[in-house]
Structure 1
Amino acid sequence: MPDSPTGLKARLRSDLTTAMKARDAIRSSTIRMVMTAVKAEEVSGDVARELSDQELVTVLTREAKKRREAATAYDDAGRGELADKERAELEVLSGYLPKQLSDEELTALIAEEVAASGASGRAAMGAVMKAVRGRVAGQADGGRVAAEVKRQLGA
């Protein structure tokens, strides 16, 4: 593996050092957790490799989704203190993710794809999702995208 980390990975390492020096427990534990997930992703498969920034964003998005779902589950179970911890970790992760699309931007983007493909009905949902997924990469949660595609296709 090359010794020069990607820009995002270098930023994570630098921020971890800063957080540790500042004794910021939430930030340092969250970044450590991300670095562990990144390392696991790098060594999975047949050959160890360095992840690109795009692949790092995918890992960060997955980790953010886990935090969002855990916070909801803890809230539903009446465990507010644990939900708050998950939300604090999500806040740290959000600083490394691309800016999220607004509802209006997402609606317009999906409308463009639906119009361009001439798709209609439930059967076209997979094709539209595939086209939209490439354009929103990391900028919108898959659940939001699916709900809007379903709404626009009348599925």
Structure 2
Amino acid sequence: MSLLERLNQDMKQAMKNKEKDKLAVIRMVKASLQNEAIKLGKQELSAEEELTVFSRELKQRKDSLQEFSKADRLDLVEKTQAELDILTVYMPKQLTEEELTAIVQETIAEVNAVSKADMGKVMAAIMPKVKGKADGALVNKTVAGQLS
């Protein structure tokens, strides 16, 4: 089942259960997916493109959550956290720290990286492997730790 089909089913269920917050988040994500399809001039997005849109939505909410926390806006923190919880259900299982470290070490060996100067090469090679499965900041931190 594609992500869009799953979103449609969950949207219908949210309507039936009168879950307004969940319904709003699903509609927002569906709109983002449709906008991306229009931007790319396609009828349907590939699974990878859908994942890219979802990752972008998650990152926006995580950034907002940090800003709202800094500003002591607890009402917005709670709302944004609820949106994040709904969105994470649709993401692939996240890699553990050990799995990520193993992938980083394997990629460093593949590209023959030896110092922090090779960080760009490693990041370019590793990001397609962990797309949607690990946060970019965590990947960056792990790569930097392995190269130092």
TM over 0.5: yes
Q: Deviations over 1:41-88 (max 9, x none)?
A: 01014x343101221111111101111111111011001110111111
| Unpaired runs of at least 5, structure 1 | 1-5
Does residue 90 in structure 1 map to residue 84 in structure 2?
yes
2:147 corresponds to which residue? 153
Q: Distance in 2 between matches of 1:140 and 1:79?
A: 28
Q: Distance in 1 between matches of 2:46 and 2:135?
A: 21
Does residue 63 in structure 1 map to residue 57 in structure 2?
yes
| Unpaired runs of at least 5, structure 2 | none
Q: How does 1:70-149 map to 2 (within 5 A)?
A: 70-149=64-143
Which one of the candidate residues 40, 43, 49 is aligned to 1:49? 43
Conserved? CA contact 1:9–1:53, under 8 Å: no
SS of residue in 2 equivalent to 1:119: coil
Percent of counterpart pairs with the same letter?
39
Count of residue pairs the alignment pairs up: 148
SS of residue in 1 equivalent to 2:93: coil
Q: Which runs of 4+ in 1 moved over 3 A?
A: none
2:18 corresponds to which residue? 23
Structure 2: which amino acid aligns with 1:38? L
Structure 2: which amino acid aligns with 1:15? D
What's the CA shift for 1:117?
A: 2.2
Structure 2: which amino acid aligns with 1:37? S
The TM-score normalised by the length of structure 2 is: 0.95
The TM-score normalised by the length of structure 1 is: 0.91
Give the alignment's Cα RMSD to 1 decimal.
1.2
